[in-house]
Amino acid sequence: MRHSISYTVLGMLMILLSACATAPKKPTPLPDAQVNKLKTMRLDSRLPVPVKGVSRNQLSDTWGAARSQGRSHEGIDIMAERGTKVYSATEGLVADLRNNNLGGKVIWIMGPAGSWHYYAHLDGHKRGLNVGDYVRKGDLIGYVGNTGNARYTAPHLHYGIYLNGKGRGAVNPYPYLR
């Protein structure tokens, strides 16, 4: 009798786990009022360096450098030790938190003037950070790492700015941070 109950419970758990693993995750819609507010704000021409302890004069302009598969670098790399705190360079809405092959652990933040800010190769996101959270300039969002296609490189933050939507209209972030 005990074994049949255990197998029944185990079977139910397996069905539940399989349903959770295969259920498509619906994107979390961003709050319209906050999106509209951000779109009316001006994007500052000078942003803070988003990595703790890194000064402006330590930055290198890696924009446009050749990358694998004929790509060019759509951002700059900010070198720092693994686990160094990463802060939001602007206020905005956390629009996406994910793990992908190229950027590894990434955060997308929709910021002022409809700008999109891309933080990649993170070692991790700030615990409790969720899509839809509103962050202020200087809020902790994650930690420097070398995930994704940077796994064989020194830890760094890849920081990108896009002005025509998520992943569209890349601009060089270096002048914003210098």
Residue whose C-alpha is closest to residue 165's, from 102, 120, 100, 108 = 108
- pLDDT for residue 106 is more than 60: yes
For residue range 41-97, list pLDDT tens digits in order: 999 999 999 999 999 999 999 998 888 888 889 999 999 999 999 999 999 999 999
Q: What is the mean pLDDT of residues 172-177?
A: 97
- pLDDT for residue 147 is more than 80: yes
Give percent of the chain above pLDDT 90. 77
Q: Mean pLDDT across the chain, nearest whole number?
A: 89
The predicted pLDDT at position 38 comes to 96
User: What residue has token string 């996406």?
Assistant: 96
145 φ/ψ sector (left φ>0, alpha ψ -120 to 50, else beta) = beta
- Which of the pair, 70 or 129, is modelled with greater confidence? 129
DSSP state of 68: G
The predicted pLDDT at position 2 comes to 52
pTM: 0.84
Does residue 89 contact residue 48 with C-beta atoms inside 8 Å? Answer: yes
Provide the pLDDT confidence category of residue 12 given band limits of 50, 70 and 90: low
Cβ-count burial of 80 within 10 angstroms (0-12 exposed, 13-18 middle, 19+ buried)? buried
